[in-house]
Structure 1
Amino acid sequence: MFSPVSILVVTALSSILSILVLISLLSHAIAGVPRWLWANVLAIVSLVLFSVQNVAPAWLGIVAANQLLAATILLIYEGCNDFFDVRVRPAQRWTGWIMWFGVMAGIAYFTYVAPDVNVRVVIVSAFHAACDLAIAGRVLIERPKERPRYNYLFVAGAAALGALGHTVRGAIYVAKPPAHAALLEPGAMQIMFLALGILVLPSLCIGLVMMAHDRLAQRLERLARFDDLTGALSRKALLAAAAERLARARQDGEREFVAVVDIDHFKSVNDRYGHAAGDEVLRHFASIVRARIRENDAFGRIGGEEFCLFCTAERAEDITALVERLRKTVEATPCAVPGGVLHYTFSAGIAAWDRREPLTALMARADGLLYAAKVAGRNRVKAPAADALV
């Protein structure tokens, strides 16, 4: 049978493992990880102090140990706020630490002034139950809906289990305090709640690491799907999206159009202002386009200063009008670059899918019209005759 000390030691060892994993994540600058790391450090110190409670002075084995463990769960909650980028007002942030100070005062009072183990248990259980519920609620509310649910539900479940355990423990000590009240006395009640602790705290830490790894996976997926400089779809992701659009259009009878766009005289921008200015122009252009197209349009960067836009519409004139509006907006909107402000333009070629040709042929036709726009003097949109767009 496990003794209380052995359970505390095993829990401390699991926190050490969590620290080693969290340290490996620090270099990835994931919000929340630093607080979770320090929470585990405090948990280890707290558990060590609890394990020597019978020989340590009360201020160390009772007051300090409980306060460090309370700070552990509070740091985990604040780390979740950081992780989900929740903007907490200073007054709200200090509320938790004011409660933490109240717990410390209560423990000290019922240790030295009016010694009562049962009241201390109720105070500590109430604080931990509240923090665990806050963690579970935060994770469930802020969970990114587009991500796999398991990691987040795991954390919420572990926190909810901790809240339930502390609530039951507090209720028992209020209604009928057990005969064995001291933490390290090997009573069945103590073993049961310590065993719950050895399950909840490591599970919570494992879940936090799982959430951090999901955040890393999300970043990698974004790097694969989006162009890092402009935020537009990458070439690979754009072509995949375009293939899906054509397949759907073939089934649904929708009309699909593509516009191939090239920024005019982009090489001279790089030569005159530098590559940093060229990057700013690309970002500026992409931000204008993304802000003015529809959510179901597909916009991506296919190389250098060349972009591609896939749209669904009933009439060819709608797509031509959209690209013309974009051209006029870009022409009228200056771009701030290192060393000054510059104006730039773009040229575009538009083609309509004929429901039979492959994607490569469709883009080649649009690219040919883009070339015609360049030859005609740039800063213009070229589309075939209306009957060719039917």
Structure 2
Amino acid sequence: MLSPVTLLLITAALCVVMLFVLGSLARSSMPGLHAWRAANVLAFVALLLYAGRGVLPGLLTIEGANGLLALSIAAIHVGFRKFFGQTAPYRLLAAGWLATVAGVAFFHYVFDAIAMRTVVVSLFHGLVCAAIGVTVLRSLAQARARYPFYFTAGVALLLAVAHLGRGLMYALQPDMQTAFYQATTWNLVFLSVGTLVLPLLTMGAVMMVHDRLLAEADDRANRDYLTGAWTRRALFQMADHELRRARRHSHPVSLLVLDVDRFKQINDSQGHAEGDRVLVDLVRRTGSMVRDIDCFARLGGEEFALLLPYSGAAAAMQVAQRLRQLLEQPAPGALPLTAYTVSIGVATLAPEEPFSTLLGRADAALYEAKHAGRNLVRLAETA
């Protein structure tokens, strides 16, 4: 049977492996990485101190080891809070840690009872693991893929139940564990619960970091470098998804195509840098009025498109007029910007109409607005 010391050393080695994995993510500057690295360093030292029981002084192997391991799980929790952009409960964690260390010391020097020390430590670890699980589940809205979140939350909550169950069992049966190195099945199981927390939670953290990095890379690949609007490719991908959903649920979809009036003149007279400022301002102000479900993309040059799910022709025309009126107003800001206007073409999806045809009709309506005098909105003919 695997001895407790061997298990402790294997887990310490896993903490080192996790440190190397976290080190590979250092260039990402992801929030929480520093706390997760500190947690694994603390856990590594704590596990070595545990393994030195009987050789090193009791102050190191009991108060020192338990205090460092409790501090490591608190650091893991801080890392998750920072990762999700939340404030870490430092005071609450500090109070819990101090109470845990005090409890361990009491049941070592005042009333020597290893079972009661296990109860004290298990209570702290169980409550922190539960807090981690709840924090992850409440942050599901930030997930690109939900599997890393469910894995991490599931591990945290499972460990919380195991820790609290271990504490309850030793509280009810204080004679169950008579020696730290006793190689019984229950002792090994409960020791595994106490030592594998850090590697498992760090694994979940790494999975979520990779998920966020993939989401950020995907977002950058589908964003226009200058303006931050979605790219033409992203528009077609989102439109394909929206059109299939619209046909499935029979809800309307409309498309606006807009173009900056006399943009070439702005570039020729004011310079391309000023033209870029105009495009950036257009995207910024348009973004302030569109919904989260809308897709605003740069088709190319000074031409943009706005996809409006759940919007019929009347609603789309209202949006187009509001947008036109917004953009003809002087841009706010300390640095003056060349005044500009836009012309807009509007088209509403017809049954079984492909997106390319919808885009072509909106584009044709845009040129009608151009030919009619610019700074106008025109609705496309029915397909």
**TM > 0.5 between the two?**
yes
The one-letter code of the counterpart of 1:286 is: V
Match of 2:340 among 315, 321, 344: 344
Aligned to 1:141: 138
| Aligned equivalent of 1:211 | 208
Q: Which amino acid aligns with 1:347?
A: S
CA distance in 1, matches of 2:72, 2:38: 8
Q: What displacement does 1:358 show?
A: 5.0
CA distance in 2, matches of 1:363, 1:374: 17
RMSD: 3.2
Name the aligned partner's letter for residue 27 of structure 1. Answer: R
Corresponding residue of 2:3: 3
Q: Which residue of 1 aligns with 2:19?
A: 19
- Structure 1 residues 200-219: Cα deviation after superposition (integer angstroms, max 9, x where no partner): 43222222211211112222
Name the aligned partner's letter for residue 366 of structure 1: A
* Equivalent position amino acid for 2:304 in 1: F
- Please give the secondary structure, in 2, of the residue aligned with 1:292: coil
Q: What displacement does 1:327 show?
A: 0.9
Which residue in 1 is equivalent to 2:57? 57
1:204/1:293 Cα in 2 relative to 1: closer, same or farther (>3 Å)?
closer
Contact preservation (8 Å) 1:107, 1:120: yes
Structure 1 residue 73: deviation in Å? Answer: 0.6
Deviation at 1:124, TM superposition (A): 0.9
State the match for 1:66 in structure 2: 66
Q: How many residues were matched structurally?
A: 382
Match for residue 363 of structure 1 among 355, 359, 365: 359
Residues 1:326 and 1:55: Cα distance change in structure 2 (over 3 Å): same
Q: Structure 1 pair 336/272, CA: closer, same or farther in 2 (3 Å)?
A: farther
Deviation, 1:269, is 5.9
Could you tell me whether the CA contact under 8 Å between 2:73 and 2:198 is conserved in 1?
Answer: no
Pair 120,371 (structure 1): closer, same or farther in 2 beyond 3 Å:
same
* CA distance 1:39–1:348, change in 2 (3 Å): same
Report matched runs for 1:128-207 at 5 Å: 128-144=125-141, 147-178=144-175, 180-207=177-204
Aligned match of 1:304? 301
- Cα 1:145–1:81 change in 2 (3 A) is closer
What's the CA shift string for 1:257-280, capped at 9, x where partnerless? 4322122354636974764x6555
Q: What is residue 289 of structure 2 aligned with on the other side?
A: 292
Aligned counterparts of 1:192 and 1:357: Cα–Cα separation in 2: 62
1:123 aligns with 2:149: no
Query: Is residue 2:230 matched to residue 1:233?
Result: yes
Check conservation: 1:284, 1:335, Cα contact below 8 A. no
CA–CA separation in structure 2 for the residues paired with 1:270 and 1:108: 78
2:75 aligned partner, one-letter code: L
1:39 is matched with 39
Distance 1:333 1:376 in 2: 23
Q: Report percent identity of matched pairs.
A: 37
The 2-side partners of 1:161 and 1:248 are apart by 38
Q: In structure 2, how many angstroms separate the alpha carbons of the residues matched to 1:313 and 1:78? A: 41
CA separation in 2, counterparts of 1:315 and 1:176?
A: 69
Contact 1:320 1:383 in 2 (8 A): yes
List runs of 5+ in structure 1 lacking aligned partners: none
Instruction: Please report how far the alpha carbon of residue 52 of structure 1 lies from its aligned counterpart in structure 2 after TM superposition.
Output: 0.9
TM-aligned CA deviation for residue 155 of structure 1: 1.4
Q: Structure 1 residues 78, 282: CA separation in 2 closer, same or farther (over 3 Å shift)?
A: farther
For residue 285 of structure 1, what is the amino acid of its counterpart?
L
Give the Cα separation in 1 of the matches to 2:147 and 2:114: 39
2:320 maps to 1:323: yes
- Corresponding residue for residue 103 of structure 2: 106
Give, in angstroms, the shift of residue 21 of structure 1.
1.0
Residue 40 of structure 2 contacts residue 72 of structure 2 at CA under 8 Å; is this kept in 1? yes
Cα deviation for residue 308 of structure 1 reads: 0.8
Q: Please, what TM-score do these two structures have when normalized by structure 1? A: 0.84
Change beyond 3 A, Cα 1:229–1:17? farther
Shift, 1:246, TM fit: 5.0
Distance 1:333 1:15, change over 3 A: farther
Moved more, 352-361 or 98-107: 352-361
Q: Distance in 1 between matches of 2:100 and 2:268?
A: 62
Amino acid at match of 1:169: R
Larger deviation: 151-160 or 120-129?
151-160
Report if the CA contact (8 A) 1:262-1:348 is conserved. Answer: yes
Aligned-partner SS, 2:190: helix
Alignment CA distance shift 1:182-1:272 (3 Å): farther
Q: Deviations over 1:327-379 (max 9, x none)?
A: 11112251437x44554322223345565765444434433443454455543
